[in-house]
Structure 1
């Protein structure tokens, strides 16, 4: 009797699962499709955000390089002017020494 009850119960459960199986598979497929669409959208947003961040970083690097170039040029110009002044002072000092002899 116990075996008959167990087998009957197993058949009822199997029949119930097979009836729900198609619906469950359809729902699982829909859930998978929704999750896949979500993943694709998130990945696309991540790619766009990364691209924008790289563009901004590139612009910052270009601006920094331009500022560094200008500062270097200004420093070299100032050093050249100071070298000219030093040269003129040395020349004047040498003339003064020659004149005093």
Structure 2
């Protein structure tokens, strides 16, 4: 009888250990799955951050190019204005030198 009781207790203990081991395996699988999900979410967040950064760089470059274009337009307008003033001054000097009107000097 003693051997039967010991065998029964051993069987119960073995079943308890195997159930515990199965539960541990399930928990380990859930932990691994959760870690994988976390890694995937972190990767997606990093990808989104990289895309946002690239968009910001593109926007900054476009704004910079627009500002350079505006500055070039202003410089061209100023150059045109200076050219017109220089031509008027040249015509006045020529008109005085040749004793003619400024309009006649501009035709020359």
* Cα displacement (A) at 1:27: 2.6
Higher relative contact order (CA 8 A, sep 6+): 2
Moved over 4 A (4+): 16-20
- Structure 2, unmatched stretches of 5+, are 1-11, 98-108
State the superposition RMSD in angstroms.
2.3
Taking structure 1 as the reference length, what is the TM-score of the superposition? 0.72
Q: How far apart, in 1, do the equivalents of 2:53 and 2:78 lie?
A: 37
- Structure 1, unmatched stretches of 5+, are 1-15
Largest Rg, 1 or 2: 2
- Which residue does the alignment assign to 1:54? 50
The alignment covers a number of residue pairs equal to 88
Q: How far apart, in 2, do the equivalents of 1:51 and 1:80 lie?
A: 43
Given candidates 91, 95, 99, the residue that maps to 2:95 is: 99
Taking structure 2 as the reference length, what is the TM-score of the superposition? 0.68
